Structure 1
Amino acid sequence: MSEHGLPAATAMSAAGPGRAPAGRANIDYVVITAATAGGGHRPNDDAIGVNGWVLTAEDVNPLDLTVPVVDHRAAVVSLTDGLAGAAGGDVAAAVAARRLTARQTQRSATAEAFREAFRQADELVHEASTDDLPGIGCSAAAVLIRADGRAFVGNVGDVRLYQILNGYIGRLTRDDRARTEEGPSGADRVVTRCLGGRLRIPVEVHFTEIPVLPGDRLLLCSDGLYDTVSDSEIEQALKAQRPGHAIAGLVKAAKSRGGGNITVVLLEPRGRSVRGPAPVLTPQPSPQPSPEPPPQPELASAEKTSFLKKLLRG
């Protein structure tokens, strides 16, 4: 367990390397590259949360955001995915994304506060249910990145978060879903835990804490990607191409193979390391608050302005 009550990150897949301690880091900002595509047969109910913003759209080419991380602030990013086959999934995903990524200062960005954000998101999704939209729910994964290089990760359902170290990919989240008797494909699997849902019981969320250094990469994705594109394909795309081209290519590949709603979010912490040894590959087993207003994501280019019309401010 970490000093903040979270288990140490040991769930990287066999393909993904761990890393020996590498000193402290100063994370100054996080570059985010995201793309999404609807599955065609139903609305795109994926939602991206960034520091209290909620981004939703049917189809979007890579969107570039820069989120500042300074001593009194943290960057929080989430991906939520409404339950397949259930009405109101888009509502659940937006409600959860807004709460999970609500502003966090460096002082308030603790493991306990991160856990509480998931608990409150679960309650808010339940409260958003109506007679017309009963039992709405969503899968969710979120990461909180502090200026000191500590990051908290949480997930429930089947949204994944990967970490890419030295070009190798490893998964930091656990899937909460089971295969039905109808077949082995992703379409024949059902989510076994979620935020909200028909049963009002305390949600069990997977949590971990990881160190993050400038140059690391984190990738959030919905099941529409990983059900059709393998981890090794994701790894190779990120090695061979620039972020925007890689993300666009992954979404296109998944869509061509029949993927449902597909969303991919790449996070790249930027800053500097402080008095630490160089990262070393080590195999691991699988498995004061500022009165200023909260920082908003900065658009990388004017052509993305139309996408901001989809933002919901909490």
Structure 2
Amino acid sequence: MSSGARVRWGAATSPGGRAGNEDALLAQDDVFVVADGMGGHDAGEVASAAAVASLRALVGRGAGPDEVHDALLAAHQAVRAVPSTSDRRPGTTVSGVVLTVHDGTPCWVVLNVGDSRTYRMAGAVLEQVTRDHSEVAELVADGLLLPDEAARHPWRHVVTRVLGGGATAVDPDVLVMAVSPGDRMLACTDGLTDALPDARIEAELKAEPDPQAAADRLVATAVAAGASDNVTVVVVDAQPRPAR
């Protein structure tokens, strides 16, 4: 199925300050996602890989929001099936976009569970389009914590939703946005956003017109800035196809 848009993309990952890499990514045809296996859980790298493998069923389908939602529920069960050797079940975040066509208009289906993020850069302005599922994000939303304080808060890595983990069910965020000319989408794990503020991420994306070069640059910049966690990014550029 045609996505109704021309796309170019790039992807990069690094262990950062960790000995191993528990992140995973999928960038193929019309599906672009990152997953961050939960540190402190068993088999985080297996959990993120299981989520990505499950979501691979969406590739080439031009999947709409209902299909993406159902795929996330299936991915949740796939991660829950990962064996555990302790009381803490393996889990993973996931965030990214799927290209589709809705009512004849090319659209992004944005998906998110956890505190990995998806951003949109349109008109050279970067905007976070997902909402973090974390204790700190909820404190900010409730007016109990200032946004500037969130980056330093000791609970900033406590997530409230994951694929897998101890919960039997998951409530993923799925939203639809029309593709605008010149859109650049960024899906990233929190290793990037912990190391670099949004303004720096925006500047690095502007510095490289090629999406693969932009992905490589973001990861290298985060590592150089002292990223303490795994860093994974997928950069997707899209242009709507002209109407026939």
**2:214 corresponds to 1:246:** yes
Question: Matched residues in 1 for 2:73 and 2:51: separation?
Answer: 10
CA distance in 2, matches of 1:33, 1:186: 33
| Match status 1:266 vs 2:235 | yes
CA distance in 1, matches of 2:233, 2:155: 19
User: Larger % of helix: which?
Assistant: 2
Which residue of structure 1 lines up, in the alignment, with residue 163 of structure 2?
Answer: 195
Alignment of 1:99-138 (within 5 A): 99-104=54-59, 106=61, 109-131=63-85, 135-138=89-92
Would the aligned equivalents of 1:34 and 1:264 in 2 still touch at CA under 8 Å? yes
Q: CA RMSD in A?
A: 2.5
CA deviation profile, 1:125-175 (whole Å, cap 9, x unmatched) = 001224469510000013110254122111010110001101111111011
Quote the Cα distance in structure 1 between the aligned partners of 2:87 and 2:31: 28
Contact 2:179/2:239 (8 A) holds in 1: no
AA matched with 1:125: V
| Cα 1:270–1:101 shift into 2, 3 Å | farther
Q: Distance in 1 between matches of 2:70 and 2:218?
A: 33
Match of 1:45 in 2: 22
Equivalent position of 2:35 in the other structure: 80
CA distance in structure 1 between the partners assigned to 2:4 and 2:80 by the alignment: 38
Residue ranges of structure 2 left out of the alignment (5+ in a row): 140-150
**CA-CA distance at 1:35 after TM superposition:** 1.2
* Contact 2:24-2:49 at 8 Å conserved across structures: yes
Equivalences for residues 1-314 of structure 1 within 5 A: 26-28=4-6, 30-51=7-28, 67=29, 75-104=30-59, 106=61, 109-131=63-85, 135-146=89-100, 148-179=105-136, 184=152, 188-200=156-168, 202-243=169-210, 244-259=212-227, 260-274=229-243
Q: Bigger radius of gyration, 1 or 2? A: 1
Change (3 A) 1:246 1:104: closer
Task: Write the deviation string for residues 262-304 of structure 1: whole angstroms up to 9, x where unpaired.
Answer: 01110012453439xxxxxxxxxxxxxxxxxxxxxxxxxxxxx
Shift, 1:210, TM fit:
0.4
Q: For this pair of structures, how many residues does the alignment match?
A: 224
Contact 1:87 1:133 in 2 (8 A): no
The unaligned stretches of length 5 or more in structure 1 are 1-24, 52-66, 68-74, 276-314
Contact 1:77/1:101 (8 A) holds in 2? no
Cα separation, 1, equivalents of 2:217 and 2:31: 25
Q: 1:38 to 1:104 in 2, by over 3 A?
A: closer
> Matches of 1:273 and 1:159 in 2, distance apart?
33
Q: Secondary structure at the match of 1:247?
A: helix
Secondary structure of the residue that 2:4 maps to in structure 1?
A: strand
TM-score for the superposition, normalised by structure 2? 0.82
Alpha carbons of structure 1 residues 236 and 137: separation in structure 2 relative to 1, 3 Å: same
Q: Secondary structure at the match of 1:242?
A: coil
- Aligned-residue sequence identity (percent) comes to 32
